[in-house]
Structure 1
Amino acid sequence: MTGRQVPNIRQKHLGSELRKLRESARISQKYASEHIDGGQAKLSKIETGRQHIRRLELIALLDLYEVDDPALRESLLSLLRDTRKKGWWHQHDDTLDAEAREMLSLEADCDRIAHFSAMVVPELLQTPEYARALIEGLGPHLPQEQVRRRVELRVQRQRILDRDTPPQFICVLDEGVLHRPVGGPQVMAAQLRRLVVLGRRPRTLLQVVPLCRGVHPGLHGTFRVLFHSSSTALDVLEVTDSTGSRYLHDDAHVETHRILFDEVRAAALPSRDSLELITHIATTLASTAGNTA
């Protein structure tokens, strides 16, 4: 399930910037619309992110608004290119809706990810075996081909963490996540060992909120925020519950959850202590798996 419809966020941002430039130039929407095909109705849709603008139309408007700064012109042209680019995720168009594709696009381009998970290991950190067990457990009637495709999608998404300059990934887990043996003790032990390996990377930071904390701010539920240094207008919040994910990109929701994430981090163990805890639980699970083999 999805929440309020998320348009192409880059397209909406581009439209907003064009509106600001037009107003700064003291040009009416009616007059500006005479310089593109489609009239005022089309320009209105462009400025609210509900319609694409062609490259030549964008250049015409920038000229009309006397935007001479080369850096600003190039940034807006680059934003236009980004609204239309197709990433690797389009090979999954048969299983992804428009909102999911937009989120994957923003995920691929973000500079920082703040993720709190109250129930399971985040998808970007899952081993294929853990992912398969989770997908099958939550969708027992899914055809195996769909299960395979979903696992493949998660593995492909994880490549952003293997880049030369990956996004900074700050992940906080409720300790209950570590004790839930998804796929059984052996699969879970391997998953926890994977977390330790990832948690030692320079751009990845893992923290755990211990069970002894009792009630903490993260009990509101799982969420993550994708941050973009190029423009805060591209920042987006994903809130996940039993019904699925909702995507919100308005400043108020993003800021509220940024603050909430800081509060959750304050309740968590430091990274070093968290990795030691994860290692301890993994060792215990591996021993359990060995005894039951």
Structure 2
Amino acid sequence: MNDSETKQLEFDFKNVQAEIVSESSDELRLELGEFAGPLDLLLYLIRREQANIFDIPIARITDKYLSYIKMMERLDIAVAGEFLVMAATLIEIKSKMLLPQEPVEEGEEETLDPRQELVDRLLEHQKFKLAAESLWTRATVEQAVFTRGTIETDENNPEISATVFDLFEAFQKIMVRHKEQIELEIHREEMSLAEMLRNLKARLKIEKRLNLTKVFGEMGSRRELILAFISVLEIVRTEAVALFQKNTFEDITLELVES
């Protein structure tokens, strides 16, 4: 595959149709919910890495965090300034952690751990979320953080809430597979973002629930995969739907929540 053919596989999201755009004619903006900010992403990554919040492996978490930011930028999703500020903060902490520690003389106070302020912020954020959940109605909280709606389950078929960050994780895995298969892609009529969104909405309306890992796997090209991912984010943002999974890190299902 030559350079010109490779470039044709890239999709410029600045040209997406205006009906999907929420704030401008040339930029796709997606809100991820009141609580889906940088601290939520950090808490998710700490859980994902099974790390101790009081002893954060800052180098590993920083690398994971930056990979999420880079993915958002590649998809041309407007990254909120607070995410970028946190990225700079993590890089600064990582740099301080790499510096050789000066020996503490007798009688001197130990140098404050560079991670301490961040740990305090994360703990405070967790407390705030718990307090909010006890004060707000369940429906309000679920809408804010994209947790699942009221779905009947039994002991043999338990289901847990999934977040937008879990969705990013699933998308990353599928993207790796498509990257390996890119040279096998067959040229066919291109689908627009608006068409992909309409198709997925219609399919969800009929089937009521969609296995997103299966949906992403059905896409015939990286471009279609990215369109499907952005369409799912838009559906989560605008429709009465819920994300859930059987167990943490397993396939994610999108379900239509009946009003």
TM-score normalized with structure 1 length: 0.26
